[in-house]
Amino acid sequence: MRSEQVRFLGIIEQYQPALRRLVNSYEPDPGRREDLFQEIALGIWQALPHFRGESSERTWLYRIAHNIAISGLESRRRRDTRELPMPDSVERMGRWKDPDRALVLQEQRQAVLAAIQELAPVDKQLIVLHLEGLSYQEIEEVSGLSESAIASRLSRVRDRLTDLIRKKEMRNDTVR
């Protein structure tokens, strides 16, 4: 295997879960997520020879992934949005010891994901970077926005999402 291939596979292996979550936030239709993931992987593959380490690998990778995801936004928007996306597989819940807790978590995750999918693209980019654990400085490096703009936008989006989870929890408690 060529060194370029080894390097590419190493990056993908390390960041695959984060990239999958990023893809989920852009693509509501689970049937099309694989395609977007592969487009991003292709973008990384093509950009890899030009990567000189001027920024960290992580910020470089997020730039590519978000930029490729946003460039297909128009065509995704034009698609028939009346089609309801299929729910994610619940098989993964089998890993949990407490199925009730797993179900609640799954519902919360779905609610957060749905709320993130609804966000305006810039807010979506910022919150996904934040949730992936990037510092404000790293988010600035990826997004090109100032730290103050990032902070004010993130605060608004975070409040909205937290509120949503609380409501979801309250609704679940009422049902029980």
**Pair 129, 121: CB distance under 8 Å:** no
As measured in angstroms, the least distance from the Cβ of 135 to other proteins is 13
Site string for other proteins, 116-155 (x = CB under 8 A): ----xxx--x----xxxx-------xxxxx----------
Min separation Cβ 154 and other proteins, Å: 9
36/24 Cα distance (integer angstroms): 9
| Helix 121-131 with 136-143: angle, nearest 10 deg | 140
C-alpha to C-alpha distance for 97 and 135, rounded to whole angstroms: 33
Q: Judged by CB under 8 A, which of 105, 152, 167, 171 binds other proteins?
A: 105
What part of residues 44-103 is at the interface with other proteins (CB under 8 A)? Answer: 45-47, 50-51, 60, 63-64, 66-68, 70-71, 73-74, 77, 92
Residue 143 CB neighbour total at 10 angstroms:
20
Report if residue 7 touches other proteins, rule: CB under 8 A.
Answer: no
Q: Output the smallest distance, CB 143 to other proteins, in A.
A: 5
Distance from C-alpha of 165 to C-alpha of 40, rounded to nearest angstrom: 30
Between CA 30 and CA 15 the distance in angstroms is 19
Alpha-helix residue ranges (DSSP H) falling in 27-146 = 30-47, 57-71, 73-78, 99-118, 121-131, 136-143
Interface residues toward other proteins, by CB under 8 A: 5, 8-9, 12-13, 16-17, 20-21, 24, 34, 37-39, 41-43, 45-47, 50-51, 60, 63-64, 66-68, 70-71, 73-74, 77, 92, 105, 108-109, 112-113, 120-122, 125, 130-133, 141-145, 158, 161-162, 165
